[in-house]
Amino acid sequence: MKRLNLLGKTVSDFEDIMRSLGEKPYRGRQVFKWLYRDMQSDFNLMSNLAMTLRRRLDERYEFIGLHPTRHAVSSDDTEKFLFRLDDGALIETVLIPEGDKRTVCISSQAGCALGCAFCATGKMGFTRNLTAGEIVGQLLYLRSRDGQEAFHNIVFMGMGEPLLNYDEMVRAVDIISSEIGLSVSAKKITVSTVGVVPGIYRLADSGLKVNLAISLHVADEEKRKKIIPIAKKYGIKELTEAVRYFARKRRKRVTFEYVLMGGFNDAQNDALMLARMITGIPCKINLIAYNPVPGLPYRRPTDDEVDRFAQWLYPRAPAVTVRKSRGMDIEAACGQLAGKYV
């Protein structure tokens, strides 16, 4: 009998499995904890279960994680992992050390259908949505390699648009934030969207305590449409209304990511439009200098140009940070993930 891989099953799935085996649901929570929290995937070693249950589980189920096929380390210690999934689809995960903390940037889709003009993933096209197991599997691999301190913050900023894989993203967050799962507080998880407005409302109403980041990149409607095709469907007005709703409902500050592309969105007028757009929204702005992608026309602005843009925003914008690009030499920086290795 082919065994079913339990990777990606939630607590309530495990409770259902136990009911189907004629067991009490709390046994499901015990197995869930063994697999995700204690990283014990051998049912025979789950010492608080009866031997007969261990055997039955072992006959029917398995727990197989992800293992990278390639791994690259940047000169700044950023690491990039390439995972080949069961059907051959490729995804990437990036681990970014920042002082004594580490942030992991995970993928939610193999490729991406949204085709943003500045993004290497967008150029790949869309392969498919990831399952919750494939999302969580990226993190479990790092835990298996580096232990509980493998990462401290999680950002859904790898390949794909997480709000277009909403249900599996939520299932993954459920497992990640469960105290008997990966036990990472939802407050340490950020979901980043390029502006899928219905998904923002859904997230706001979901009760999930995750943070929201918007990949905005330009506040001018017409320019935004040029680089983010989905902006033709959801304009700046709809987007800002959705963000206001999220901030109000969840009582959270939202982050706007703004990739500065030299000569395109780094003029004083762009800064003033951005400042106007975010007026009254509890937020912070992350400025990021564009990371060159081969074949794409945008220029990386100089450090002085980035500083000048930040000064134009200040004090109109409440909080502005300049994010250092990490892992550029291994194409692990923002917008560079393309399933390709150096």
Question: Which among 79, 92, 168, 331 is annotated as catalytic?
Answer: 92
**Is the Cβ–Cβ distance between 7 and 136 less than 8 Å?**
yes
122 part of the interface to ligand SF4, by CB under 6 A: yes
Stretch that binds ligand SF4, among 87-95, 107-115, 170-178, 280-288 (CB under 6 A): 107-115
Residues making up the chain, counted from first to last: 342
Question: CB of 333: closest distance to ligand SF4 in angstroms?
Answer: 12
Using CA atoms, how far apart are residues 36 and 140, in angstroms rounded to an integer?
Answer: 8
- Closest CB to ligand SF4 among residues 34, 246: 246
Using CA atoms, how far apart are residues 288 and 285, in angstroms rounded to an integer?
Answer: 10
- Closest CB to ligand SF4 among residues 28, 339: 339
Q: Measure the CA angle with vertex 104, ends 219 and 184; round to 5°.
A: 105
Read off φ and ψ for residue 111, nearest 5 degrees: 75, -170
197 part of the interface to ligand SF4, by CB under 6 A: no
216 part of the interface to ligand SF4, by CB under 6 A: no
The three-class DSSP label of residue 74 is coil
Tokens standing for 175? 């497992």
Site for ligand SF4 in 236-275 (CB under 6 A): none
Question: CB of 56: closest distance to ligand SF4 in angstroms?
Answer: 42
141: left (phi over 0), alpha (psi -120 to 50) or beta: alpha
286 part of the interface to ligand SF4, by CB under 6 A: no
92 part of the interface to ligand SF4, by CB under 6 A: no
220: left (phi over 0), alpha (psi -120 to 50) or beta: beta
Q: Give me the amino acid identity at 86.
A: D
- Closest CB to ligand SF4 among residues 49, 333: 333
Question: Is 105 annotated in the active site?
Answer: no
Closest CA to 185 of 225, 223, 152: 152
Site for ligand SF4 in 303-342 (CB under 6 A): none
112 part of the interface to ligand SF4, by CB under 6 A: yes
Question: CB of 271: closest distance to ligand SF4 in angstroms?
Answer: 21
Question: Is 283 annotated in the active site?
Answer: no
- Closest CB to ligand SF4 among residues 68, 160: 160
- For residue 218, count other CB atoms closer than 10 A to its CB: 25
Partner residues linked to 213 by β-bridges: 192, 255
Q: Give me the amino acid identity at 159.
A: M
Question: CB of 67: closest distance to ligand SF4 in angstroms?
Answer: 24
Catalytic annotation, residues: 92, 334
Which residues of the chain form contacts with ligand SF4 (CB under 6 A)? 112, 114-116, 119, 121-122, 159-161, 194, 215
